[in-house]
Amino acid sequence: MFKNSNSTKYLFPLLFIGSFLVLNVTLAASLQEGFGATGNLSNFATQAKYSTPQTPEYYIGLALNGLFSLLGIIVMAMIFYSGFVWMTARGNDTKVAKAKDNLIDALLGLLFVVGGYALTSFVLKIFT
């Protein structure tokens, strides 16, 4: 039915982009209906808990969440680096051993990061 032409090559990307445009218009219309005719955002801010001051535990949790996210990114970079060194070792036993040691260290680091995140999340949920 469709031959391999230029028009079919651009059909799916255009449909994909067009779907985002339709969704944005729909979301914008629903948001305007939710704000009401006066445009008062105080009710929206109250429901989103922006009007109430946050506790120190909230900010500590936010900082720790960012720290654990950063540590997770570093650990994943170490895992990728170790895999790259292992794949490019070309049979060199010292490079393979170094890559294995780095990979084990990175996996232990991942275990500690996930454990620390779980413990911190548990403790902060108790206090908030």
Q: Is the pTM of this model over 0.85?
A: no
Per-residue model confidence (pLDDT) at position 36: 54
pLDDT in tens, 38-57: 556 666 667 776 666 677 87
CB 90 within 8 A of CB 121: no
Per-residue model confidence (pLDDT) at position 85: 94
- Cα separation of 128 and 115, whole Å? 20
- Cα separation of 118 and 65, whole Å? 10
CB count within 10 Å of CB 65 equals: 14
- Mean pLDDT, rounded, for 15-36: 58
DSSP annotation of 40: -
